[in-house]
Structure 1
Amino acid sequence: MKRLQRCCCCASTRTGTIITATLGIILSIITIITIWVANKHNVSYRTFIFAEDFDRKLADMDIPRIILTVNLCFTILICGLLIVAVLKKRSWLMLPWVVLGIVLAIGLLISVLHTSITYYLDEQDHAIIATCILIGGLIYLGVYLYLWAVVFSHYLDVRDEEERGRYRKAPYKR
């Protein structure tokens, strides 16, 4: 993969990485608030493994909300770690975000495809909703992968700078 030199053609990858981490924190906080403020009957939770009765019991006990909240708190933690890594120029602190980011991209692709296919196969006519989910999800995935590539490029730059060593750097960068 070729490294990106700029984020959105105007900012450095360092600035793009900080913006990406900040967006991750903001979106996670908004999602946590939405999960707990929204009426829980508007959100459906199905495991596809257990019976519908068990899924309903889990939802009544707020288990899905708790699991999502814990996951989003870890996302906030990893995005905060990414900001610290950029400011301190430590590549190994960026690694959790880089690994989690590509795993989340794969999960997002599977989720978008599964949701849109489920709507396409539904007995009621939900083709417009399915198409909107598919197109919107793929656009979101493209933006997410671009931001991941920005962070990964900055990770590689910082890692290369660390490997060069202190005395091999140019005097003005010490």
Structure 2
Amino acid sequence: MKRLQKCCCCASTRTGSLITAILGIILSIATIILIWTVKKHTVSFSTFIFDKEFDKKLSDLDIPRIILTINLCFTILICTLLIVAINKRRSWLMLPWVVLGIVLAIGLLISILHTSITYYLDEHDHVIEATVILVGGILYLCLYLYLWAVVFSHYLDVRDEEERGRYRKAPYRR
């Protein structure tokens, strides 16, 4: 993969990485608030492993909300770690975000495809909703992958700088 030199053609990859981490924290907090303030049965959670009665019991006990909240708290933690890594110029602190980012991208792709296919196959006519989910989800995935590539490029730059060693760096980088 070719490294990106700029984020959005005007900012450095460092600035783009900081913006990505801050956006991750803001979106995670907003999602946690949304999960716990939306009416309980407006959103349907299903496991596809157990029967519908068991899924309803899990939803009644708020288990899906708790699991999503824990996942989002870890996202906040990893984005905070990314901010610290960028400021301290430590590549090994960026690595959890880089690895989690690509895993989340794969999960997002699977989720987009599963949700849109489920709506397409539904006996009710949900073609418009399925198309909006598919197109909007793919656009969101492309944006997410671009921001991941910005952070990954900055990670590679910092890692290369660490490998060169302190005395081989330019004087203004010490």
TM-score normalised to structure 2 length: 0.99
Instruction: List structure 1 runs of 4+ shifted beyond 6 angstroms.
Output: none
Number of the residue aligned with 2:23: 23
Distance 2:127 2:170 in 1: 59
Number of the residue aligned with 1:75: 75
**Per-residue CA shift, 1:121-165, capped at 9, x if unaligned?**
000111010000000000000000000000000000000000000
Number of the residue aligned with 2:129: 129
The alignment yields a C-alpha RMSD, in angstroms, of 0.4
Number of the residue aligned with 2:172: 172
Number of the residue aligned with 1:139: 139
Specify the SS of the correspondent of 2:169: coil
Residue 75 of structure 2 aligns to which amino acid in structure 1?
A: T
**1:92 aligned onto 2:110:** no
Cα distance, 1:172 vs structure 2: 2.2
Distance 1:39 1:122 in 2: 24
Size of the aligned set, in residue pairs, is 174
Cα distance, 1:173 vs structure 2: 1.8
Distance 1:48 1:171 in 2: 58
Distance 1:55 1:173 in 2: 55
TM-score normalised to structure 1 length: 0.99
Distance 2:115 2:89 in 1: 39
Sequence identity of aligned pairs in percent?
80
Cα distance, 1:56 vs structure 2: 0.2
1:155-170 paired onto structure 2 within 5 Å: 155-170=155-170
Number of the residue aligned with 1:3: 3
Number of the residue aligned with 2:32: 32
Specify the SS of the correspondent of 1:72: helix
Return 5+ residue gaps in structure 2 as ranges.
Answer: none
Distance 1:51 1:36 in 2: 25
